[in-house]
Structure 1
Amino acid sequence: MTDSDLDQSYSAVCEALTRVGEAGTPMFLSMLCLSLMSRFERADQVLPLIQNALAQSDGAGR
């Protein structure tokens, strides 16, 4: 994915989050994550991504 593709995708997610609002954000993100995870063949391809996101978030110390 090019930088332009990443920017376009990130912008689309931001716009979608604005449309669903704060109340709809958890459901939207859950559905998006499940959809993206389903594109991988094995859990060992997804689990490191989850750990990386957790390490970069506030949830790392909880």
Structure 2
Amino acid sequence: MRNFLRTWLLPAMLVLAPSVAAVAQGYNWSAVRIGGGGRVTSIKAHPKVQNLFLLPPM
């Protein structure tokens, strides 16, 4: 297994890493319009996932 990692996986990662970085740098972040509106009547915390809050429908 270690021989496989040294001979194939590590060189493949080194070859592909620059192309992944080039793609990541080319993205243009912009604002997203959120439609809708109205009042938020309640906010509920998810019972199992920490820091996940839900806005239930009215």
Higher relative contact order, structure no. (Cα contacts within 8 Å, ≥ 6 residues apart): 2
More helix by share: 1
Same fold (TM over 0.5): no
More strand by share: 2
With structure 1 as the length reference, what TM-score do the two structures score? 0.27
Whichever of the two has the greater Rg, that structure is 2
